[in-house]
Amino acid sequence: MNGAFRDSSYRFRIKIQFENYLQSRSMSKSRSGKSLRRSGQDSKSLSSWRNRDSGAQSFEMINLRATPTDNQSEEGAVSIEFSDPVSISSEGSSEDLVCAKYLVPSHQQPWDSTRMAMSLANLPEGEKILHAISTLKGETLKKFLTDINKIYRYNKGEKIVDSTHSKNRTIKKISSGDAESIALSFSMFPETWLLIACWSRNYEIVMELLERGIDVSTHDNDGRTALHLATCSGSSTIVEVLLKKGANPNEWDFRNEMTPMHYAAARNDLCSLRLLVKYGGNVDIGLPGRTPLYYAVLSNAYVCVEVLLKSGACPNNPQVYTETPLHVAASLGSIKSVELLLSHGADARVCLGSARSTPLHLVAEEGSSECARLLLQAGAPYEAKNSRGQTAMHLAALAQSSETLEVLIASGADPNAEDAEGRTPLHTAVAKSLRGSELIRILLQAGSRINKPDAFGYTPLHIAALNESSYIVNLLLSKGADVTARTKGGISALSFIIRRTPDVIPRFVSRMDQGISLHDHELGDVDCELRLDFRPLVPGGRGETDLMLCLVEVDQKHILKHPLCESFLHLKWLRIRKFFLFSLVFHSIFVTFFTSYIIVTFLYKSYNAMKRVLFWPVLIFTTLLTCKEIFQLAHGIFIYAKRWENWLQWGVIVTTVLVLISPIHEWQYHIAAIDILLVWTELMMVVGRFPMFGLYVQMFTQVAVNFFKFIGAYICLIVGFALGFTVLHNDYKSFGNPLLGLLKTIVMMSGELEFEDVFFDNNLRFPWTPHLMLLAFVVLVTVILTNLMVGLAVSDIQELRRCAGLDRLVRRAELVAHLESMLFSKLLDHAPSKLVKAFRREALLLHPPHHCAIHVRPNDPREKRLPRELIKAVYGLVSQRKNKGKRSREENFSLVLENYNNGEEISGHRFSRLISATSSSDIGRQQLMDLSCELRKFSRNISIKLEKLSERVESTLRDVELRNET
């Protein structure tokens, strides 16, 4: 026989150096305690070897795989790779190729190449046959076949004698490597030779063995037959021979994982696949598990997929939630496979496993827009959700695939679909900033809600800020994202922006600058109008002062000094001050009735009709006050508990109820004294809410707080003096006990020492010591400590006056925000709707979308809506921006003219870019008019220069013509 393959152009023969492998294998066997016996030491036949427990063949697995070469033809070659570098030689080259380690793909391998190679090596004499068969080529193969024929004739077609001595001698000769001993091995273990020959694509040896009548159904210890190995190696000629000899194309291995049909489909061996189908191969073998069609799709074997489908392969799986070929094609983004499967009836609606993923989910996750289009045309449900509640839109946004998003939106997918955690595709789109701007634009154009919170209250702006993506944050803000949106924990988006992307704040302030613009006429004109657009301050659908309150919370109070913010707060206060006036009137009437009741009842002790008349108004006002506090408590208990004025209110309510109890008891006098003090203190706090008196009330509260801090620091010194005076002057009634002594000592701090009455009494029991203590008290407490308190109070007042403007804005923002939150509370939804709507309408300054701005005339003395100082600030901001824009335009046009004078060509695109860059910073119409005037001026200068240049050129040409004529 010829020693070469029938088609030698596709052949690779394998040369494996087994030294390192044998060493690791023997070490693994010694660890497992099971040693594989050699054929010379084992008298068992091959049939008995087949039936051995596969557990006895344990060894240390090495990463070995069989992969097709670049040629995917009928006779495609197979190479073997170890994870450790091994030498592989091709037929046309004697040089060793170092193979890289195999990286396991994301999908499961069609077969376990490691087990397959190791099973062959574990056959009797498998290692030596693998080594020997790789060297059988050319003259070596001819001599080998000649020796085979000699041995066969000598033994008359029978195997070598079964004596143990003969076998030992044969094994010894085989190890020496001579051709005759290999031929004897061939005669002793033909089944091993057949399997390895099919694996290594050695057609001549396969034919030699089949002519001797070797059973084609022989298999290795994993149940793989010769046909399995032949289809795995991609040798269609050997496959055809085996099928003609009766090989079963539908036979499973011992694990029931693979048949020859599976190997051929996964190998993309079209010729072998057709042969298997021709000889009775079942195209649906493996259902409801993995069929040949499944592996053909997994290997991107489009031709095999088409052949199987045309041969009647079922593209669907009868078992629910099972992975179908369409799932595999979708996850790979294989357009051709998806198209073939859908054209043959594959169900695009089937879900996969516990994840409940449809093929459209997998395609969206892969980012294949063409596959998504095919699935949608086939009826794939775009609204279907997986186990996490995600639609294909969510996964496409997460994969940053704008093309897939556009396909889904064009098919009618909902851009506001929510997953199990309430997140929309916009939430997932901002999670990555690679192509976030494009995805955000597509989703917003499709109608996605930019301020939609998830189940935890996080909006897309929260997520973008948490990811520290300044560009995405700016983009969302420009599209109307609400910085005042809060999570379930009460954290605003502005808080995240301050901590994670502080570079956004200057741009945020610049948006406020753009809200003030020149509306009509020149700045110096009497009829000049400035436009104040408050939309940057008022997020859509929320309270008008939420932004102001957020700025205070995140310690960005200085932004309130911006002319736009200050103007808004001033106008807002003018709008809602009627509610505070009503509150002042309410408390004033209550204080009047209650004070009258206290005087009549406890001072004059009158029990006549006057007392009964005053009793009912006090009770009614107390009830109303209680209802108001309960409403505020229900609106927000945590915020309510932080305000000490609310505790003062409850003190007034409780003490008033106790005072109203009849008949009058002695203990009520104590309560009445405390109550009257609390009521008037509360009235003082209400008066302090007005701007006129607010600074003075704040001075009082601030100095009082600092005084108690101060006393807390020096209380030990005061207590020490009080106890000392009590010991020395116990006979004096003011120091009768320690508490009275402490009270008297505190009074002495104000300067009321009673020096002669106490310290120069004739009955003084302890002379000299009281005088020394008094001297120490005067120096340390009356002089030093009291002056320290006065100095501290003065310092606090000066600081308050210095920050009076900012503090006033902060107080106003807090008051307005508090009142607004009360009026728009959900608790009022059960109140009369007309009354509530009337109150809310009176509290709102803006009525979007039409009434969001005001126009003021800074040069008109009749303009009274804003204070003159504030109008000057607004005017200065517009003037400063105009001057800056003018300087920028002059610099741009100077650059243009300089380039022109230098002879550089200025393209129209560059010129228009300069113009657009200049005009984009101008909002007012007058600025555009100034720009057009300057353009005309420069164009006129350029025209004049061009005319002069053309005249010079014409004169030069005339001179040249005259010279030529002469």
* Residue 383 domain flag: no
Whether pLDDT at 82 is above 50: no
* Residue 66 domain flag: no
Our measurement of the distance from residue 638's CA atom to the centroid of its chain's CA atoms, rounded to an integer in Å, reads 30
* Residue 25 domain flag: no
- pLDDT at residue 87 in the model: 30
- pLDDT at residue 151 in the model: 59
- pLDDT at residue 178 in the model: 52
- pLDDT at residue 934 in the model: 65
- pLDDT at residue 918 in the model: 46
Question: How many angstroms separate the Cα of 701 from the Cα of each of 347, 643, 711, 798?
Answer: 75, 13, 15, 14
The answer to whether 676 and 598 have CB atoms below 8 angstroms apart is yes
- pLDDT at residue 33 in the model: 36
Torsion of CA 887, 889, 890, 892, to 10 degrees: 120
Average pLDDT over residues 681-709: 85
641 and 752 fall within a common domain: no
* Nearest partner of 373 among 415, 401, 352, judged by Cα: 401
Average pLDDT over residues 207-229: 85
- pLDDT at residue 678 in the model: 94
146 and 244 fall within a common domain: yes
- pLDDT at residue 458 in the model: 94
Number of residues assigned to the chain: 966
Mean predicted lDDT score pLDDT of the chain: 76
* Residue 361 domain flag: no
Segments forming the whole domain that contains residue 678: 570-689
The per-residue DSSP string of 59-103 comes to -----EEEEE-S--STT--EEEEESS--EE--TT--S-EEPPPPP
Q: Report phi then psi at 18, rounded to 5.
A: -95, 5
- pLDDT at residue 86 in the model: 31
Q: Report phi then psi at 388, rounded to 5.
A: -95, 5
**229: CB partners within 8 A, 6+ apart:** 116, 120, 195, 198, 199
Name which residue leads in pLDDT, 607 or 293: 293
Strand partners, 518: 530
Burial class (CB in 10 A: 0-12, 13-18, 19+), 953: exposed
Whether pLDDT at 323 is above 50: yes
Q: What is the 3-state secondary structure (H, E, C) of 850-887?
A: CECEEEECCCCCCCCCCCHHHHHHHHHHHHHHHHHHHH
* Residue 752 domain flag: yes
- pLDDT at residue 476 in the model: 92
Residue 962: pLDDT band (50, 70, 90) is low
Q: Report phi then psi at 382, rounded to 5.
A: -75, -15
| Residue 805 identity | G
Cα–Cα distance, 805 to 817 (Å, whole number): 18
Query: In sequence order, which ranges of 317-435 are alpha helices (DSSP H)?
Result: 325-332, 335-343, 359-366, 369-377, 392-398, 402-410, 425-429
Strand partners, 97: 88
Domain endpoint, select from 809, 824, 839: 824
Cα–Cα distance, 261 to 225 (Å, whole number): 13
Query: In sequence order, which ranges of 778-867 are alpha helices (DSSP H)?
Result: 786-802, 804-823, 833-843
Helix (H) or strand (E) holding 695: helix 691-728
Residue 772: pLDDT band (50, 70, 90) is confident
**pLDDT tens digits, 181-193:** 666 667 777 888 8
Residue 316: pLDDT band (50, 70, 90) is confident
Domain endpoint, select from 765, 794, 824: 824
Cα–Cα distance, 774 to 698 (Å, whole number): 36
Cα–Cα distance, 572 to 825 (Å, whole number): 19
953, two tokens:
């050129």
The answer to whether 537 and 554 have CB atoms below 8 angstroms apart is no
607 and 750 fall within a common domain: no
Average pLDDT over residues 508-519: 87
The answer to whether 32 and 58 have CB atoms below 8 angstroms apart is yes
Average pLDDT over residues 575-593: 91
53, two tokens:
């427990």
* Residue 115 domain flag: yes
Residue 99: pLDDT band (50, 70, 90) is very low
145 and 245 fall within a common domain: yes
Torsion of CA 631, 635, 638, 639, to 10 degrees: -90
Residue 730: pLDDT band (50, 70, 90) is confident
* Nearest partner of 815 among 645, 668, 958, 940, judged by Cα: 645
The answer to whether 550 and 565 have CB atoms below 8 angstroms apart is no
**830: CB partners within 8 A, 6+ apart:** none
**pLDDT tens digits, 780-805:** 988 898 888 888 888 878 877 777 77
142 and 277 fall within a common domain: yes
Name which residue leads in pLDDT, 365 or 798: 365
Least confident of 502-506, 667-671, 760-764: 760-764
722 and 668 fall within a common domain: no
Least confident of 385-389, 542-546, 902-906: 902-906
Cα–Cα distance, 194 to 230 (Å, whole number): 10
Residue 936: pLDDT band (50, 70, 90) is low
The answer to whether 689 and 586 have CB atoms below 8 angstroms apart is no
Residue 147: pLDDT band (50, 70, 90) is low
114 and 206 fall within a common domain: yes
Question: How many angstroms separate the Cα of 384 from the Cα of each of 351, 394, 415, 453?
Answer: 9, 11, 13, 22
- pLDDT at residue 902 in the model: 53
Whether pLDDT at 71 is above 50: no
676 and 818 fall within a common domain: no
538, two tokens:
């008022």
**Most confident of the ranges 53-62, 91-100, 596-605:** 596-605
Question: How many angstroms separate the Cα of 641 from the Cα of each of 462, 580, 626?
Answer: 27, 21, 15
Whether pLDDT at 74 is above 50: no
| Residue 512 identity | M
- pLDDT at residue 434 in the model: 67
Name which residue leads in pLDDT, 353 or 106: 353
The number of distinct structural domains making up the chain is 3
The answer to whether 64 and 114 have CB atoms below 8 angstroms apart is yes
Q: Report phi then psi at 257, rounded to 5.
A: -105, -45
How many Å is the Cα radius of gyration of the chain? 48
Domain endpoint, select from 806, 824, 842: 824
Cα–Cα distance, 24 to 371 (Å, whole number): 47
The CA-CA-CA angle for residues 894, 895, 901, to 5°, reads 85
Reduced to 3 states (helix: H, G, I; strand: E, B; else coil), residue 847 is strand
Average pLDDT over residues 108-124: 71
The answer to whether 432 and 444 have CB atoms below 8 angstroms apart is no
* Nearest partner of 829 among 677, 641, 634, 644, judged by Cα: 634
E-strand ranges in 449-564 read 516-520, 529-533
- Tally the C-alpha atoms within 13 A of residue 693's C-alpha that lie toward its C-beta: 11
Strand partners, 352: 357
CATH number at residue 636: 1.20.120
Average pLDDT over residues 93-118: 45
Task: Spell out the long-range contacts of 303-308 with Cβ–Cβ below 8 A and sequence spacing 24 or more.
Answer: 303/268, 303/270, 304/264, 304/265, 304/268, 304/269, 304/270, 304/273, 305/336, 305/337, 305/340, 305/341, 306/340, 307/270, 307/273, 307/274, 307/277, 308/265, 308/273, 308/283
* Residue 612 domain flag: yes
673 and 741 fall within a common domain: no
488, two tokens:
């379930």
**Beta strands 97-98 and 516-520: pairing type?**
unpaired
602, two tokens:
């406890």
Cα–Cα distance, 493 to 504 (Å, whole number): 12
Strand partners, 78: 68
The answer to whether 856 and 534 have CB atoms below 8 angstroms apart is no
Whether pLDDT at 291 is above 50: yes
Cα–Cα distance, 668 to 663 (Å, whole number): 10
CATH number at residue 185: 1.25.40.20
Question: How many of the other CB atoms lie within 10 Å of CB of 887?
Answer: 10
715 and 583 fall within a common domain: no
742 and 673 fall within a common domain: no
**pLDDT tens digits, 830-878:** 788 888 888 888 888 887 666 788 888 888 888 888 888 888 888 888 8
Torsion of CA 830, 834, 836, 842, to 10 degrees: 170
Least confident of 28-32, 425-429, 860-864: 28-32
Q: Report phi then psi at 531, rounded to 5.
A: -100, 125
Residue 964: pLDDT band (50, 70, 90) is low
Name which residue leads in pLDDT, 690 or 594: 594
- pLDDT at residue 526 in the model: 80
Whether pLDDT at 63 is above 50: no
481, two tokens:
């994202």
- pLDDT at residue 770 in the model: 80
* Nearest partner of 69 among 300, 273, 233, judged by Cα: 233
- pLDDT at residue 79 in the model: 35
Strand partners, 225: 219
Note if the bond before 563 is cis, omega within 30 degrees: no
734 and 600 fall within a common domain: no
* Residue 182 domain flag: yes
